[in-house]
Chain A
Amino acid sequence: MLSRVANSIYWMCRYIERAENVARFIDVNLNLLLDMPAEESKQWSPLIMTTGDQALYEKKEQAYTQEDVIWFLTFDRGYSNSILSCVSAARENARSIREIISSEMWEHLNNFYLELIKEEAIKMAIQEPNRFFKIVKMRSHLFTGLLDSTMSHGEAWNFARIGMMIERTDKTSRILDVKYFMLLPEANLVNTPIDNIQWISVLKSASAFEMYRKEFHRITPTNVANFLIFNKLFPRSIYHCLSKAQDCLHRITGSTNGASTNPAEKRLGRLMADLEYTDIEEVIEAGLHEFLDDLQTKLNQLGGEIGTTFFNIRPLKSSTLSEQ
């Protein structure tokens, strides 16, 4: 398929996944507020930290109030990772590949955007935030469902999935990093109800609470990290996402598991091997933050390798192509 098309479908899915995660983070935080009596700014600043765009937020001289944070993360067109910016970018990508994706996907995404720019959308986000962010999440789920059930699972679909899985890995690692970093220092709170609520919110931010319960009964920081990094079956764990991305990459190139025919496969293969031969104890001992930081760097490199391998190819010199 065309390199430009592969690039567009990859980014379309990354943006939708990104929008969904922002919606989930806000939603979880809203619920957390109900259980945690504290001053407002303390509850909304961690959310901005999770995005990694704290400097940008503060440059705008906004306070950490619920309304300002929600507006920034949801509707600010000047912020490239706001929900509106993400959905808009996804839609622009979709528009350039309408003939590749199904019309159901396009119509849904188009409608997603058109609803978001309505005056009523802002009103609902402020007045009924729970309802609003639930709708955003459901629209993203619907998009993923349409991707899976209305489009052939060929090369384009595999690029779509890779984009989605890499974005998801990034978001899970980020939420874990920020929360772990934030929560652990308060040693006197360990095992208090407040501490529990905080860790539950970490799990909820990755929609992982219920599935975690089936695996481990008690909430401990190590088990939470273990589950979100190493669980093989949970669809938002880092291991699971990367392994799915690897499957898709192999399907695109036709190489078998364990073999690698290009730099992107090589990079992802190494990353998977690292995860296979590490466990949570080793990670904690070496420092969770360091581990996640390193993972983020490698994810960025992987994104770059995928770009140069598939999206920005330049032709060989014409003499080397000629067989005459």
Chain B
Amino acid sequence: METFTTYDPEGFYDELVDEKGVPRPGVQLLVDKIESLPKGNLRLRQNEAEALLLKMGITFNVYGQDEGTEKIFPFDLIPRIIANKDWQHIEAGLKQRIFALNEFLQDIYNGKKILKDKIVPENLILSSKTYRKQCEGFTPPKRIWCHVTGTDLIRGADGCFYVLEDNLRCPSGVSYVLENRQVLKRTFPYVFEKSRVRAVDEYPAKLLDMLAYLAPEGVQSPTIGVLTPGIYNSAYFEHSFLSQQMGVELVEGRDLIVADGHVHMLTTKGLKRVDVLYRRIDDDFIDPAVFRPDSLLGVKGLIEVYKAGKLALANAPGTGIADDKVVYAYVPKIIKYYTGEDPILPNVPTYICQDETDRKYVLEHLHELVVKAANESGGYGMLIGPHATESERKIFAEKISADPRNYIAQPTISLSRVPTIVGDHLEGRHVDLRPYVIFGEDIYVQPGGLTRVALKKGSLVVNSSQGGGSKDTWVLSPDQSEEN
């Protein structure tokens, strides 16, 4: 079998083997298993896993194609393995970062001390598309804004983890983490058990605990719901999956109504009050009375109930300001400002196009930089300088000059790779990592997260809408990696 014996890391940092191709600590068991498989068996298992995902209906809808066009989120059987030591570092870094960003949100909408102290430029915040004036002077239940976050990390050629992006609105993908794990447990049961991989499946229970913690004062057993835009949303599977795992209602905007100062569901037995919503609808669409008036997905009057303290929302409206890609550049300063500590997880070096010196540098070095628009996600609105054509770079140069506030640039980082099944052998493919963090009574970081993989050879774009797939992520238990 053409597997690890012929696998070549090609000079990239590889998550499973070192520069000579020798398995890293904790990876040997998996390598042995794969080497022991008869020829063609790995491909067979991969096909079986894909068929299983299709049968389970774990699919997403592709925007811009016919309604009902379903694809499975491509999945690769070879897991990414993270040593305990690395994980401890990531976990501490994320807790610090999320804590600071929550402080930042509370401050931005109440008092704006950090702006007055000139740590973050005031015009940057007030000019952001995701700044919600409607939230000024408001403190959400338990003073928590960003209840669920998914932070994108990458590992560079130096073997260090960097934060690439914060997602504080409605980060998706955690259902794939849970389902991928189910598939892997069935595919490599022995290796899985012996490797002492940390469990990811307490996530739904942690999410439920957090939501119940937010319930309005005096509500003993709160009615909790997941608010979804409906079955044509690309993440609908996840909304349905999470509500099922938590045993709470899955509601759409049309199932809800505001009456008597409360939000109610329309049920077969009349109206039923709702106390907490894990909403998977963007701020813009959640309440046509306050945000976009043309929204058909939301619930009219919901924000008024929320502000009166009769309903809790996770995440709070207004969190988008903290994952603005320009604000991102200030996060290390934000962490220092609120915690007094240096950031544990560094940012990727970032040029802010609004800054004249930075902009000049960016415009002169477009061919070696990645340029991102401040409020786009899913890999849209991006320029990857080294891979772009001359005319694409020219278009971006014009965009940047016209609206410098809206752009940042970063050096292209050589993302780490993981062996991936290509035909009948393994090839390295670039990956990132999105761990999920729940902020409730305390801060919980799910051990693992979504490893997204760019399946196209040489590609650095891992988004599912752009040809990315996913892998299971194994975080090893403490004693296991100490033995090694």
Q: Which among B243, B259, B264 has the greatest number of chain A C-beta atoms within 10 A?
A: B259
Task: Establish whether residues B265 and A2, one from each chain, have CB atoms under 8 Å apart when the complex forms.
Answer: yes
Answer whether residue B220 sits at the interface, using C-beta atoms and an 8 A cutoff. Answer: no
Identify which of A92, A114, A311, A322 contacts B231 (C-beta below 8 A).
A92
Cβ-defined contact, A114 with B257, below 8 A: no
Please state if B56 and A2 are interface contacts (CB–CB under 8 Å): no
Chain B residues, CB < 8 A from A2: 249, 251, 255, 265-268
Query: Interface segment, A103-111, A128-136, A176-184?
Result: A103-111
- A146 to B: closest C-beta gap in Å: 14
B70 to chain A, nearest CB (A): 10
Query: In whole angstroms, what is the CA distance A180 to B273 when docked?
Result: 53
* A229, B340: Cα distance in complex, Å: 81
- Minimum CB distance partner of B242 in chain A: A99
B349 interfacial by beta-carbon distance below 8 Å: no
Is B287 in the interface zone, CB < 8 Å from A? no
B-contacting 9-mer, from A45-53, A206-214, A313-321: A313-321
Q: How far is the CA of A310 from the CA of B270 in the complex (A)?
A: 8
B55–A114 CB distance below 8 A: yes
Tell me whether A23 is interfacial, beta carbon within 8 Å: no
> With the chains together, A76 CA to B243 CA distance in Å?
35
| CB pair A110 B55 closer than 8 Å | yes
Residues on A with beta carbons closer than 8 Å to the beta carbon of B267: 1-3
| Overall SS of chain B's interface | mixed
Given contacts A99-B243, A315-B259, contact A3 B271 (CB under 8 A): no
Complex interface bits, A247-258 against B, C-beta within 8 A gives 1, otherwise 0 = 000001000000
Asked if B240 and A99 sit within 8 Å, CB to CB, the answer is yes
Residues 247-283 of B, flagged 1 when their CB comes within 8 A of A and 0 if not, give 0011110110101100011111011000000000000
**B271 closest partner in A (C-beta):** A315
Do B231 and A318 touch (CB < 8 A)?
no
- Tell me the complex Cα distance, A293–B440, Å: 61
- Inter-chain contact B54/A98, CB cutoff 8 Å: no
B240–A98 CB distance below 8 A: yes
B57 at the interface (CB under 8 A from A): yes
The answer, among A4, A103, A106, for a CB contact under 8 Å with B254, is: A4
Residues of A within 8 A of B255 (CB): 2-4
**Do A315 and B257 form a contact, CB below 8 Å, given A6-B268, A110-B57, A252-B268?**
yes
CB of B377 within 8 A of chain A?
no
Which label, helix, strand, loop or mixed, suits the secondary structure of the A interface?
A: helix
B278 to chain A, nearest CB (A): 13
Question: Could you tell me if A322 and B260 are in contact, using CB atoms closer than 8 angstroms?
Answer: yes
- What distance in Å separates the Cβ of B482 from its nearest Cβ neighbour in chain A? 38
Bound CA span A110–B237, Å: 13
B134 at the interface (CB under 8 A from A): no
Q: How far is the CB of A52 from chain B (nearest CB, A)?
A: 28
Cβ of B244 < 8 Å from any Cβ of A?
yes
Instruction: Say whether A305 faces chain B, with CB atoms less than 8 Å apart.
Output: no
Q: Are A321 and B260 in contact (CB under 8 A)?
A: yes
Bound: A3/B231 CA distance, A: 17
Asked whether, in the complex, the Cβ of B244 is within 8 Å of the Cβ of A99, the reply is yes
Q: Which residues of A contact B270 (CB under 8 A)?
A: 313
A262 to chain B, nearest CB (A): 11
Would you call A98 and B244 a contact (CB within 8 A)?
Answer: yes
Is the C-beta of A139 less than 8 angstroms from some C-beta in chain B?
A: no
The answer to whether A107 touches B55 (Cβ under 8 A) is: yes
B346 to chain A, nearest CB (A): 40
| CB of A96 closer than 8 Å to a CB of B | yes
A111 partner residues in chain B, CB cutoff 8 A: 55
Chain A residues contacting B260 (CB-CB under 8 Å) are 318, 321-322
- Contact between B271 and A1 (Cβ–Cβ < 8 Å)? no
* B271 partner residues in chain A, CB cutoff 8 A: 315, 321
What are the residues of chain A within 8 A of B265 when measuring CB–CB?
2
Asked if A3 meets B55 with Cβ closer than 8 Å, knowing A96-B231, A321-B260, A322-B260, the reply is no
A95 at the interface (CB under 8 A from B): yes
Q: Which chain B residue shows the least CB distance to A94?
A: B57
Name the distance in Å between A23's Cβ and chain B's nearest Cβ: 22
Cβ of A155 within 8 Å of any chain B Cβ, yes or no, is yes
Residues in A with CB closer than 8 Å to B266 are 2-4, 313, 315
Complex: chain A residue closest to B239, CB-CB = A99
Beta-carbon contacts under 8 Å, B35-80 to A? 54-57
CB distance from B57 to the nearest CB of A (A): 5
Rounded to whole Å, the gap between the CB of A162 and the closest CB of chain B is: 12
For the complex formed, measure the closest distance between the CB of A317 and the CB atoms of chain B, giving whole angstroms: 9
Q: What residues of B have a CB within 8 angstroms of the CB of A106 in the complex? A: 57
Asked if A321 and B268 make an inter-chain contact with CB atoms under 8 angstroms apart, the answer reads: no
Residues of A within 8 A of B249 (CB): 2
When distances are taken between beta carbons in the complex, the residues of chain A under 8 Å from B251 are 2
Docked complex Cα distance between A13 and B231 (Å): 19
Check A107 against B57 for contact (C-beta < 8 Å): yes
Q: Once the chains bind, are A155 and B250 in contact (CB under 8 Å)? A: no
State in angstroms the CA–CA spacing of A230 and B259 once bound together: 48
Q: Which chain A residue shows the least CB distance to B237?
A: A98
Q: How far is the CA of A284 from the CA of B463 in the complex (A)?
A: 68
Contacting residues, chain A, for B231 (C-beta < 8 A): 92, 95-96
B contact residues around A107 at 8 Å (CB): 55-57
Q: Which of B55, B230, B252, B264 has the most CB of A within 10 A?
A: B55
- Interchain CB contact under 8 A, B268 and A3: yes
Measured CB to CB, the nearest residue on chain B to A313 is B266
Q: Which residues of A contact B268 (CB under 8 A)?
A: 1-3, 6, 155, 159, 252, 310-311, 313
Tell me how far the C-beta of B135 lies from the nearest C-beta in chain A, rounded to whole angstroms. 26
Please state if A4 and B55 are interface contacts (CB–CB under 8 Å): no
CB neighbours (8 Å) of B54 from chain A are 114
CA distance A103 to B178 in the complex (A): 15
A310–B254 alpha-carbon span in the complex (Å): 15
Which of B231, B254, B257 is the most central at the interface, judged by chain A CB atoms within 10 Å of its CB?
A: B231
Considering the chains assembled together, what is the distance between the CA atoms of A1 and B272 in angstroms? 9
Within 8 A of B (CB), among A83-113: 92, 95-96, 98-99, 103, 106-107, 110-111
B261 to chain A, nearest CB (A): 9
Instruction: Tell me which residues across on chain B come within 8 A of A318, comparing CB atoms.
Output: 259-260
The 5 lowest CB-CB distance pairs between A and B, nearest first, are A99-B244, A318-B259, A310-B268, A98-B240, A110-B57
Task: Show the binding face of B for A, using Cβ within 8 Å.
Answer: 54-57, 230-231, 236, 240-241, 243-244, 249-252, 254-255, 257, 259-260, 264-268, 270-271
For this complex, 10 residue pairs linking A to B, each with C-beta atoms less than 8 Å apart, are A1-B267, A92-B231, A95-B236, A96-B231, A98-B240, A99-B243, A107-B55, A111-B55, A321-B259, A322-B260
Extra A-B contacts (5), CB below 8 Å, given A4-B255, A106-B57, A315-B271: A2-B265, A2-B267, A98-B241, A111-B55, A315-B266
